[in-house]
Amino acid sequence: MSHILDGKKVAQKLKDRLKIDIENIKSKFDCVPGLAVVQVGNVAASSVYVKAKTKAAKEVGINVYDHHLEATTNQDELINLINQLNNSEDVDGILVQLPLPKTINEEVVLNSILPEKDADGFHPLNIGKLSISPNNDENLMIPCTPYGCLLLLKELDIKLVGKNAVVIGRSNIVGKPMAQLLLKESCTVTTVHSKTVDIKSICKKADILIAAIGKPEFVNKDWVKEGAIIIDVGINRVKINEDKSKLVGDVLFSDVEQKVSAISPVPGGVGPMTIACLLRNTTISCKNRLIN
Ligand code: NAP
């Protein structure tokens, strides 16, 4: 019987800790962290994420500044808003919900956020710090999803040092920073991707397998070693019938569950951790501002 890594529970633990941190900030400095949430247009999935992030931020005591812009907003208008938020003393974290409309260059927009207010941890300076700092430091702004995966792994009563970790996927927001985080935990890390030859046999050697591919139920039991730990990052909506759909991960849960020692479910695994880590980054940004 494998251990199910309950992301909701672990995320709640982190949020409880942040709530106490924020109460302490309030009593010491008479202010609370502020998070600006910027959404452009009305992509349905983005609205769901923004709603969940806003709710979670308010629950821990973060002030949320909601900026929902028309789908016709152009890049200059969006960057003007980000500049205002960069200069606002009330805002510690800026989150720009992706994807942006096709007419806007995401990279230019994300890079216009001040690194110290980069709630998602995507800015090149934060990515650079992540790769050169020796530890997974408390003061770093770290990409939320991979950091959430690491915190899930740390819930298990195992040593990460020396483990053979395989990350499937090399995106800037998940795969690459995930590999960096595991490397700093002294895992031996292999990153595989769509051009990797014989991917299955590499995955089969993994003590820890992180799947961040974006392909529904792609990884089955033939890909995993007996007793491996699986973190499933994927969020894929698949149709059940004409009217109904459901969320599944990148791993065929029912197939691998009996073979592995621990696995994160979808939904209820990495998703809640991503949100909790966004709140962590915002709180860290506030602490860094007040203390430095
Ligand atoms: P992405 O940017 O599309 O990257 C997918 C990666 O998977 C790429 O590196 C790609 O390789 C690789 N890949 C695609 N097909 C493959 C194949 N057949 N074999 C091996 N590798 C393959 O996606 P992402 O943003 O990293 O997201 C990955 C998944 O995580 C998605 O389902 C997304 O919705 C989910 N996600 C979840 C959360 C959360 O909070 N739970 C957060 C972010 C993302 P190439 O580089 O060679 O193309």
**Nearest residue CA, atom 35 of ligand 1?**
234
**CA pair distance 62, 31, nearest whole angstrom:** 10
Mutation pick for ligand 1 pocket among 194, 220, 247, 248 (CB with most ligand atoms within 8 Å) = 194
* Closest C-alpha to 40, from 83, 103, 84, 88: 103
Beta bridge partners of 247: 237
Ligand 1 lining (C-beta closer than 6 Å): 145, 168-171, 173-175, 193-195, 199, 212-215, 233-236, 270-271, 274
The helix/strand/coil state of 53 is helix
Strand 3-4 to strand 188-192: parallel, antiparallel, or no bridges (unpaired)? unpaired
* Closest C-alpha to 68, from 96, 91, 87: 96
Based on its alpha-carbon atoms, the radius of gyration of the chain, rounded to whole angstroms, reads: 19
Q: How far is the CA of 159 from the centre of ligand 1 (A)?
A: 27
The helix/strand/coil state of 210 is strand
Q: Which fold has domain 30-114?
A: Rossmann fold (3.40.50)
Strand 236-239 to strand 245-248: parallel, antiparallel, or no bridges (unpaired)? antiparallel
Active site positions, annotated: 53, 97, 120
Beta bridge partners of 251: 219
| Tokens of residue 248, six digits | 């599944």
**CA pair distance 109, 113, nearest whole angstrom:** 7
**CA pair distance 233, 249, nearest whole angstrom:** 7
Q: How far is the CA of 291 from the centre of ligand 1 (A)?
A: 37
pLDDT in tens for each of the 292 residues of the chain? 799 999 999 999 999 999 999 999 999 999 999 999 999 999 999 999 999 999 999 999 999 999 999 999 999 999 999 999 999 999 999 999 999 999 999 999 999 999 999 999 999 999 999 999 988 878 899 999 999 999 999 999 899 999 999 999 999 999 999 999 999 999 999 999 999 999 999 999 999 999 999 999 999 999 999 999 999 999 999 999 999 999 999 999 999 999 999 999 999 999 999 999 999 999 999 999 998 7
**CA pair distance 207, 197, nearest whole angstrom:** 20
Contact assessment for residue 93 and residue 119, using Cβ atoms and an 8 Å cutoff: yes
* Ligand 1 atom with the shortest distance to the CA of 218: 18
Q: How far is the CA of 202 from the centre of ligand 1 (A)?
A: 17
**Structural domain 143-271, CATH architecture:** 3-Layer(aba) Sandwich (3.40)
Residue 127 pLDDT: 96
pTM: 0.97
Domains 30-114 and 143-271 share a fold: yes
Contacts (Cβ under 8 Å, ≥6 apart) of 21: 283, 287
In our burial notation (b when 16+ CB lie closer than 10 A, e otherwise), range 134-150 reads: eebeeebbbbbbbbbbb
List the domain boundaries for the chain: 30-114, 143-271
The alpha carbon of residue 153 and the mean position of all alpha carbons in its chain are separated, in whole angstroms, by: 14
Residue 64 pLDDT: 98
Q: Give Dmax (Cα) for the chain.
A: 57
